[in-house]
Structure 1
Amino acid sequence: MSIKHKEKPESQYPHPDFDELRTLAKEDPAKFESKRIEYIESFLTRIPAEKQRRLRGLQWQIDQARKLARTPMASCLSMMNMMWDSLHHLNDHQRTLVKITSAFRKNHRNSLRPSASAYREKAIVIPFPAR
């Protein structure tokens, strides 16, 4: 059985056929696992080198969570919790940045904008003859 790649026009990464992988997982779990690793490696090798280490570390965490799970559903729930934790972490950082930015703007709003009198003091008025 060969696994087809479904190409999305906007994506540069091949997407495995879900139905074929589901069938393979039921009928030949060892082959499914080798295909899973093949797809992951195919994806990771296309990523720029400076991002690969982080993604390989993340994949290692996912693999360890899968090993610890007693069932496929437990594995899925574990990965879902990892994603939610990551999302909450990003949200916390975003809120912190918004607070810092708001405080900076509030504290520096007037100091960044010169007053109207500052313009008048520096202005040189050029007299024009009356017509």
Structure 2
Amino acid sequence: MTRNAADEALAHDDFIEHFDWWMRLAAEQPERFDEAWRELVRGMIEGAPSRCRRGLEGTQFRADMERRRARSPMGACVRLSRLMWDRLVGEEGLQEKMIELNRHLSPGGRAAIRDPEHPPAALRSAQVVPFRIRLP
């Protein structure tokens, strides 16, 4: 029974083992790491709803280009960080979309939460669900 590198990585249930596998693969077999990473990303994009695929492919293309343009791994990290921040707070970013959604869902088209630092009491209360922390 043979499995490709991405399947092998995804077989790990524990995040720490998963991370360690990728780290070891990158250090010991960089070409196989790159191949496994591409397979994993391709599989995730193909598994996404069809309405999201074009945007995901475009974002992945941009990330790949930024990584190629970087002169070092740290440079790639900085470039990818900027790209992610831009997708969050830049023009047409997630923050802008969430503000628009807030306006759309509120009565009369006004923002439902006028002051994000002090939301209405109904939005401040929530049931806290405890999670158990698994340590290695």
**Correspondence 1:82 to 2:83:** yes
What secondary structure, in the 3-state scheme, does the structure 1 residue paired with 2:58 have? helix
Query: Which structure 2 segments of 5+ residues have no match?
Result: 111-136
Q: Which residue in 2 is equivalent to 1:91?
A: 95
Query: Which structure 1 segments of 5+ residues have no match?
Result: 9-15, 107-131
Q: Bigger shift: 86-95 or 57-66?
A: 86-95
| Pairwise CA distance, 1:4 | 3.2
For residues 11-22 of structure 1, the aligned pairs below 5 Å read 17-22=18-23
Q: Which of the two has higher C-alpha Rg?
A: 1
Gap change, CA 1:105 and 1:56, over 3 Å in 2: closer
Percent sequence identity over matched residues? 28
Distance in 2, Cα, partners of 1:38 & 1:77? 24
Q: How many residue pairs were aligned? A: 99
| Pairwise CA distance, 1:50 | 1.9
Tell me: higher relative CO, structure 1 or 2? Use CA pairs within 8 A at least 6 residues apart: 2
Distance in 2, Cα, partners of 1:55 & 1:63? 12
What secondary structure, in the 3-state scheme, does the structure 2 residue paired with 1:62 have? helix
Q: Which residue identity is paired with 1:32? A: F
Gap change, CA 1:38 and 1:93, over 3 Å in 2: closer
TM-score by length of 2: 0.59
TM-score by length of 1: 0.61
Contact 2:103 2:109 (C-alpha < 8 Å) held by counterparts: no
